[in-house]
């Protein structure tokens, strides 16, 4: 396998890029890199960086670009990234994207391949805000697509269904608006570089995987099927 490239998956929360980026990383035999995971790992290992970001994480703040970039650069220097990596939810800002470009270039990687997970806000809202979880057994329902037989009650154990505070429609709308503000310029930047591919993220998980396999060539001689 000669991926020798960074893959960047852009998309709003709930668009499925976490699942797809993990699958793709596995398929291409490269690490799946999420800055959230990197930060949590640094904090739990008590590294210098971890001690710096711990208070920010506890306050729910985003780390400044230079801290994020230092972490990413260190991670990319590790040997498992020699053939490439899949970035999930990074870069988030234009300065991060520009610095990442320079780091990749210095490693002889060339331009990244960027996949934009396109999904209508209404579809995403139904997907996230429709999600209710059983307070007893943890079963997950979608009140639009897979509703329980009796509203608010779990089919299996009669438990009360609850919605996570983060999944409430107003919260989701706000998160989406913030994502659009921040990430549209990023998509435009990569489009100008000629490296942006768009996929329909409203399709099923397996269909999205198939669409991705056609876009990403792992260099493993596969015919594009997973």
Could you give the residue numbers annotated as active site? 17, 92, 131, 164, 175
Sheet arrangement for strand 32-33:
32-33, 84-88, 5-10, 113-118, 196-200
Instruction: Verify binding: residue 68, Zn ion, rule CB under 5 A.
Output: no
User: Which of residues 11 and 159 has its CB atom nearest to Zn ion in the complex?
Assistant: 159
Least Å from the CB of residue 168 to Zn ion = 21
User: Which of residues 38 and 161 has its CB atom nearest to Zn ion in the complex?
Assistant: 161
Q: Which of 136, 140, 151, 169 binds Zn ion (CB under 5 A)?
A: 136
Cα–Cα distances (Å) from 68 to 133, 159, 172, 184, in that order, read 33, 42, 25, 20
Instruction: Verify binding: residue 157, Zn ion, rule CB under 5 A.
Output: yes
- Secondary structure (3-state) at 136: coil
Q: Which of 41, 65, 73, 139 binds Zn ion (CB under 5 A)?
A: 139
Dihedral over alpha carbons 75, 16, 123, 114 (to 10 degrees): 50
Instruction: Verify binding: residue 36, Zn ion, rule CB under 5 A.
Output: no
The window from 44-52, 106-114, 126-134, 191-199 that contacts Zn ion (CB under 5 A) reads 126-134
Strands 32-33 and 84-88: parallel
Q: Is the dihedral of CA 123, 19, 181, 115 positive or negative?
A: negative
Report the alpha-carbon distance of residue 69 to residue 187 in Å, rounded: 19
CA atoms within 13 A on the CB side of 101: 13
Instruction: Verify binding: residue 161, Zn ion, rule CB under 5 A.
Output: no
Q: Which of 8, 69, 154, 218 binds Zn ion (CB under 5 A)?
A: 154
Q: Which of 7, 134, 196, 212 binds Zn ion (CB under 5 A)?
A: 134
Sites of contact with Zn ion (CB under 5 A): 134, 136-137, 139, 154, 156-157, 159
């Amino acid at each position: 396998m000669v991926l020798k490239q960074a893959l960047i998956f852009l998309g709003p929360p709930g668009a499925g890029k976490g699942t797809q980026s993990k699958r793709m990383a596995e398929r291409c035999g490269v690490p799946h890199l999420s800055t959230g995971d990197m930060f949590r790992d640094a904090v739990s290992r008590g590294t210098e960086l971890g001690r710096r970001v711990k208070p920010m994480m506890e306050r729910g703040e985003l780390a400044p670009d230079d801290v994020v970039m230092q972490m990413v650069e260190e991670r990319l220097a590790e040997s498992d990234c020699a053939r490439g990596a899949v970035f999930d939810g990074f870069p988030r800002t234009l300065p991060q994207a520009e610095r990442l470009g320079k780091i990749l270039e210095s490693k002889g990687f060339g331009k990244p391949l960027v996949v934009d997970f396109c999904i209508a806000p209404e579809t995403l809202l139904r997907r996230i805000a429709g999600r209710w979880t059983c307070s007893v057994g943890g079963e997950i329902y979608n009140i639009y697509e897979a509703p329980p037989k009796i509203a608010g009650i779990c089919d299996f154990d009669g438990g009360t269904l609850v919605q996570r505070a983060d999944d409430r429609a107003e919260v989701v709308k706000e998160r989406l608006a913030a994502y659009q503000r921040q990430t549209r310029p990023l998509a435009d930047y990569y489009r100008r570089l000629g490296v942006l591919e768009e996929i329909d993220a409203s399709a099923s998980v397996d269909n999205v995987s198939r669409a991705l396999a056609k876009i990403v060539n792992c260099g493993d001689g596969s015919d594009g099927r997973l």
